[in-house]
């Protein structure tokens, strides 16, 4: 139940016929099954998805799995929400109806019709993109219609086509960027240098949306293949790191550019032999300058990338020369998540192992307190091991009175090296 409805049992009672018989929660998208019973869409879909073929209330067989929206009941629920807003009840939004499989197949046929009017093909892909963006359910319906194979053939039908025909390819890539590709589908792209080169070229397109969609497909392909050779081949493509770093450096607020940019950079940096290209492309500066803007999951991925780049000499040197690197990493410890803490501690360990300046900066930024807290926290064992190694590495750098004047750890069982 939504958080806004949790206290309802104190001030207001939800009418029983507004509750889903399965979840017993207020229905947000009521639908009626062939037995005449009404359920919340998400609940009955989960019921059927787990293999049940009977109506939960009547136990009668479900001879037809079509779910019919109960608009009348939904409007009554919305009116009730409005009438009880003084009790903290928020009005449920009007749900978007899931994509019709017949419509999806029609749009795919229209988009893939080489003899059809070009404008209609483009508009069909735009309609598919809108449907795919609406919900996971829509994406499942689209994927079930062999959409990925069709979209791949459209996206790479003419990799050296004219600017006028490129719009069709760009729209196909925009839809593909919202799906996970199978390994054979990823291989279809990765095994052809022209297709890889085409996507890399799109990283420098005048439209930021085209650039981001291309980066998203590159990340999907790299993550979807198991062959180290093919991964290395993509990460070695001329300009791929420059294009991805350019997306991270996009000067205007665009959260999706940050999300896709860091996902793609991380995937490419997993190939060890080409990490120096990321450093040369300016990845270090982009990561440090953008670190505070990432959401939690993206911050973890960004810090993992920082740790990866700190494992090569050029990466260490670049991070060490950036004045904000060490203070930011120290500040992040225990602030975002256990994973973020582990990556930050690992990056600091690499930096301090090669630079006395980094050691002094870390001490000045208060890393002692952070590491002692980390060792005593419920963080991962790897994070604690890194913290202990860093404490031992920095044992000669602490100010003489840094322990004796602190009451914070008077009863600590941490062994100081």
| pLDDT tens over the chain, length 417 residues | 444 444 444 467 889 999 999 999 999 999 999 999 999 999 999 999 899 999 999 999 999 888 899 999 999 999 999 999 888 888 998 888 888 899 999 999 999 988 889 999 999 999 999 999 988 889 999 999 999 999 999 999 876 555 557 899 999 999 999 999 999 999 999 999 999 999 999 999 999 999 999 999 999 999 999 999 999 999 999 999 999 999 999 988 789 999 999 999 999 999 999 999 999 999 999 999 999 888 888 999 999 999 999 999 999 999 999 999 999 999 998 888 889 999 999 999 999 988 889 888 888 888 888 888 888 888 888 888 888 888 888 887 666 554 444 444 343 333 333
Q: Which two tokens stand for residue 209?
A: 């949306």
Distance between CA atoms of residues 106 and 365, nearest Å: 61
Is the dihedral angle over the CA atoms 29, 32, 37, 41 positive or is it negative?
negative
Distance between CA atoms of residues 370 and 338, nearest Å: 13
* The residue to which tokens 């939004």 are assigned: 93
Q: Contacts by 42-50 with C-beta closer than 8 Å and gap 24+?
A: 45/137, 47/22
Q: Could you tell me if 22 and 39 are in contact, meaning their C-beta atoms sit under 8 angstroms apart?
A: yes
Distance between CA atoms of residues 129 and 19, nearest Å: 33
Distance between CA atoms of residues 361 and 208, nearest Å: 37
Helices 101-112 and 118-134, interaxial angle, to 10°? 140
Distance between CA atoms of residues 78 and 376, nearest Å: 50
Report pLDDT for 66: 86
* The residue to which tokens 């044992």 are assigned: 395
Distance between CA atoms of residues 338 and 332, nearest Å: 10
Q: Could you tell me if 232 and 190 are in contact, meaning their C-beta atoms sit under 8 angstroms apart?
A: no
| Chain centre to alpha carbon of residue 187 | 22
Which residue in 98, 89, 91 sits closest to 28, CA to CA? 91
- Using a cut of 0.75, tell me whether the model's pTM lies above it: yes
Report pLDDT for 401: 52
CB atoms within 10 A of CB 133: 12
Distance between CA atoms of residues 148 and 173, nearest Å: 10
């Amino acid at each position: 139940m939504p958080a806004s409805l949790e206290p309802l049992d104190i001030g207001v009672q939800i009418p029983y016929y507004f509750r889903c018989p399965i979840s017993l929660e207020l229905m947000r998208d009521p639908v009626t099954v062939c037995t005449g019973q009404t359920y919340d869409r998400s609940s009955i879909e989960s019921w059927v998805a787990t293999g049940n073929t009977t109506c939960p209330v009547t136990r009668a067989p479900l001879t037809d799995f079509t779910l019919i929206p109960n608009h009348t009941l939904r409007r009554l629920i919305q009116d009730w929400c409005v009438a009880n807003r003084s009790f903290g009840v928020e009005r449920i939004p009007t749900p978007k109806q899931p994509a019709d499989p017949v419509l999806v197949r029609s749009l795919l046929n229209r988009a893939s019709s080489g003899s059809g009017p070009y404008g209609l093909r483009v508009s069909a892909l735009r309609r598919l993109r809108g449907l795919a963006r609406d919900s996971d359910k829509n994406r499942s319906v689209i994927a079930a219609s062999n959409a990925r194979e069709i979209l791949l053939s459209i996206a790479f039908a003419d990799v050296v086509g004219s600017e006028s025909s490129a719009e069709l390819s760009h729209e196909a890539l925009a839809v593909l960027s919202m799906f996970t590709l199978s390994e054979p589908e990823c291989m279809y792209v990765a095994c052809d240098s022209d297709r890889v080169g085409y996507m890399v070229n799109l990283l420098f397109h005048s439209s930021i949306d085209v650039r981001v969609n291309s980066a998203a497909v590159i990340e999907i392909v790299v993550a979807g293949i198991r062959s180290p050779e093919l991964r290395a081949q993509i990460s070695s493509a001329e300009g791929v790191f420059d294009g991805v770093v350019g997306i991270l450096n996009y000067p205007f607020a665009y959260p999706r550019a940050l999300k896709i940019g860091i996902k793609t950079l991380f995937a490419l940096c997993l190939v060890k032999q080409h990490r120096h290209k990321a450093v040369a492309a300016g990845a270090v500066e982009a990561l440090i300058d953008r670190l505070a803007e990432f959401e939690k999951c993206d911050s973890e991925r960004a810090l993992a990338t920082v740790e990866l780049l700190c494992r090569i000499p050029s990466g260490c040197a670049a991070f060490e020369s950036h004045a904000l690197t060490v203070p930011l990493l120290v500040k992040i410890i225990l602030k975002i998540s256990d994973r973020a803490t582990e990556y930050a501690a690992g990056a600091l360990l690499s930096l301090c192992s090669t630079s006395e300046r980094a050691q002094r900066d870390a001490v000045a930024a208060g890393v002692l307190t952070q590491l002692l807290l980390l060792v005593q926290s419920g963080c991962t064992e790897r994070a604690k091991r890194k913290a202990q190694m860093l404490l031992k590495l920095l044992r000669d750098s602490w100010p003489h009175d840094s322990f004796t004047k602190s009451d914070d750890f008077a009863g600590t069982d941490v062994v100081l090296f």
